[in-house]
Amino acid sequence: MSIRGLYVIIDPDACGGRDPVDVARQALAGGASIIQWRDKRREKGVQLADARALGKLCKEYGALYIVNDHVDLALAVAADGVHVGQGDLPADVVRGLVPDSFVIGASTNNVDEARAAEVAGASYIAVGSMFPTASKEPERTRAATPERLREVKAVVDVPVVGIGGIDASTISEVLAAGADAVAVISAVCGAEDPKAAAEALVAAFN
Amino acid sequence: MSIRGLYVIIDPDACGGRDPVDVARQALAGGASIIQWRDKRREKGVQLADARALGKLCKEYGALYIVNDHVDLALAVAADGVHVGQGDLPADVVRGLVPDSFVIGASTNNVDEARAAEVAGASYIAVGSMFPTASKEPERTRAATPERLREVKAVVDVPVVGIGGIDASTISEVLAAGADAVAVISAVCGAEDPKAAAEALVAAFN
């Protein structure tokens, strides 16, 4: 499974009170090729049922399944990989805890962070934030721009994922900058019709 | 290494601005036989240096080293075990992620939770909170009493650890109820002289 196409981050807080598993199903039906489970708020034991359900869904749809931040939760639910931010366990440490085939994604904001993450063993590099976003997380609110993604793409060999405030009106700009995949949260989780929203974003890849 | 004696939880927020690694060294010099690293606030990558330093110290002193909540961090720093609360990954899930020799501790509040944790594979059962504590965590603020610990001790085979608000004036009551080990935070981390505080608590075991 490659890092390519629409990458939908399922954050229960972004789903407007809807069942996050149902939102994920709609995102997959709409063509998402990668799903990330991301819950910054609840304890890991409490997340377990939803995180497992997403894993089953991804298998059904042949999608790649990534868990945010927590290597232990990712392994516990048999995910395909884990995504780590700049404050999480670094990729080289994660690499020592997981099977060789495990995907490790890393959040970066610039060429230096991207190079470091690749050297540390990241399987893909996320660059953000492409556009202003409502999220309060430092990594997502550090501005990057599509031009920055183009610079990163020029210096790393692993796939590059654009993230942060991307929607149907801006996705083409991120793809034109060289993104292999595009990650979204609210553009799908917050959409009235998550399936239609995913379809509109996937159409930009063709 | 057995679960017996003084179990000091090193929480950087409880160390009054002092270096938590230095506080741990004093606790070990004062006779602590188990050290837990517990940081509910900072991201795991940021905790890595301190968590590793505590592991080295514990090896020097022949003490058991436990990491709170996070199996991935515990494995990354080669700890002897992990301690999980009721909202964390359950012991049976943790058991699938760690070597057979790994110690898994579980926070419980009553006989039912204690039995369930033992069946799930916990290596020891913590019971608390023995006495009122300043901590805001639900698990530590749920009252248990030494009498409750006595009930738990009667029904489980693994070692039982008393926790929550224990200090030099109350430790004997917890030991009399059958505790194999006694866990403290502020009684050592918040003491003016952590080594002397540990020594006073260790004396109660003799």
Q: Which residues of chain B carry a pLDDT beneath 50?
A: none
Contacting B with CB below 8 Å, chain A residues are 42-46, 48, 69-73, 75-76, 84-90, 93-94, 96-97
Q: Supply the DSSP string of B5-25, one letter for each residue.
A: EEEEEE-GGGTTTS-HHHHHH
Residues of chain A contacting residue B72, judged by C-beta atoms under 8 Å apart: 70-72, 89, 94, 97
Residue A107 is among the residues annotated as catalytic for this protein = yes
A122-130: average pLDDT: 97
Q: pLDDT value at position A135?
A: 61
Q: Which of B39, B36, B38 is nearest to B55 (CA)?
A: B36
Q: Which domain holds residue B43?
A: 5-205
Residue A52 is among the residues annotated as catalytic for this protein = no
Q: pLDDT value at position B206?
A: 87
Q: Give which of B40, B42, B44, B86 to mutate to test A binding, by max A Cβ within 10 Å.
A: B44
| pLDDT of A1 strictly over 80 | no
| pLDDT of A202 strictly over 70 | yes
> Could B43 and A85 be called an inter-chain contact, meaning their C-beta atoms sit closer than 8 Å?
yes
In B137-176, which ranges are E strands?
Answer: 160-163
**Residues B136-182 pLDDT 10s:** 555 556 889 999 999 999 999 999 999 999 999 999 999 999 999 99
Q: pLDDT value at position A206?
A: 87
- Give the predicted TM-score (pTM) of the model: 0.95
* Of the listed ranges A56-60, A136-140, A152-156, B37-41, the one predicted with least confidence: A136-140
State the complex-level ipTM.
Answer: 0.94
> Could B89 and A48 be called an inter-chain contact, meaning their C-beta atoms sit closer than 8 Å?
yes
CATH number for the domain that contains residue A40: 3.20.20.70
Q: How many domains does chain A have?
A: 1
Q: pLDDT value at position A133?
A: 78
Contacting A with CB below 8 Å, chain B residues are 42-46, 48, 69-73, 75-76, 84-90, 93-94, 96-97
A2-6: average pLDDT: 96
Q: Which of A92, A150, A161 is nearest to A125 (CA)?
A: A161
Q: Are strands B160-163 and A64-68 parallel, antiparallel or unpaired?
A: unpaired
Q: pLDDT value at position B133?
A: 78
In B30-141, which ranges are E strands?
Answer: 34-37, 64-68, 81-84, 103-108, 124-127
